[in-house]
Amino acid sequence: MNEYVAVRAVRGLRSWGLRLFVLCSAVTAVALLTAACGGNDQAKEAAAGDRTAVKIADAQRRPSFVLTDTTGRRFDFRAETAGYLTLLYFGYTNCPDVCPIHFGNIAGGLDQIPESLRGRVKVIFVGVDPPRDSPERIRQWLDHFDTTFIGLTGTDEELMRAQVAAGIPPAVREAADENGRYAVSHAGWVLGYTAGDEQTWQFPLGVRQQSWAETLETLVKIGRTDS
Amino acid sequence: MTPHTYRLIGLLVGLGLLTLGIAGCGDDDSTTSGDTGIAVVDPFVPEPPADLGAAYMVIKNSGGEDDRLLKAASDVAGAVELHQTTMQNGSMSMARVETMEIPARGEFKLEQGGYHIMLIDLKRALKQGDQVTLTLTFERAGEIKLTAPVVGSTGVEPMSSGTGRASSSAHH
Q: Does A33 touch chain B (CB under 8 A)?
A: yes
Average pLDDT of span B138-161: 80
* B44, pLDDT greater than 50: yes
Give the one of B50, B109, B155 whose C-beta lies nearest to A140's C-beta: B50
Q: pLDDT over 90 for what percent of chain A? A: 68
Query: How confident is residue B66, by pLDDT bands cut at 50, 70 and 90?
Result: very high
What are the tens digits of pLDDT across the range A36-75?
433 333 333 223 346 889 999 999 999 999 999 999 999 9
Q: What is the 3-state secondary structure (H, E, C) of B56-76?
A: EEEEEECCCCCEEEEEEEECC
Closest chain B C-alpha to A21 CA, distance in angstroms: 6
Report the number of secondary-structure helices (H) and strands (E) in chain A.
8, 10
Residue B28 Cα distances to A29, A119, B128, angstroms: 21, 43, 21
Average pLDDT of span B90-115: 92
**Is the full-model pTM beyond 0.90?**
no
Asked if the Cβ–Cβ distance from A39 to B111 is below 8 Å, we say: no
Q: What is the pLDDT of residue A217?
A: 96
* Chain A, nearest residue to B155 by Cα: A108
Average pLDDT of span A119-141: 97
Q: What is the pLDDT of residue A64?
A: 98
Burial (CB < 10 A; 0-12, 13-18, 19+), residue B140, is: middle
Give the one of B10, B109, B165 whose C-beta lies nearest to A22's C-beta: B10
Query: How confident is residue B154, by pLDDT bands cut at 50, 70 and 90?
Result: low
What ipTM does the predicted assembly reach? 0.72
Give the one of A25, A36, A168 whose C-beta lies nearest to B14's C-beta: A25
Backbone angles phi, psi at B57, to 5 degrees: -175, 170
Give the Cα separation of A91 and A123 in Å (integer): 13
Query: How confident is residue B171, by pLDDT bands cut at 50, 70 and 90?
Result: very low
Contacts of residue A205, Cβ cutoff 8 Å, sequence gap at least 6: A51, A98, A101, A102, A188, A189, B87, B92, B112, B113, B158, B160, B162
A30 versus B115: the higher-pLDDT residue is: B115
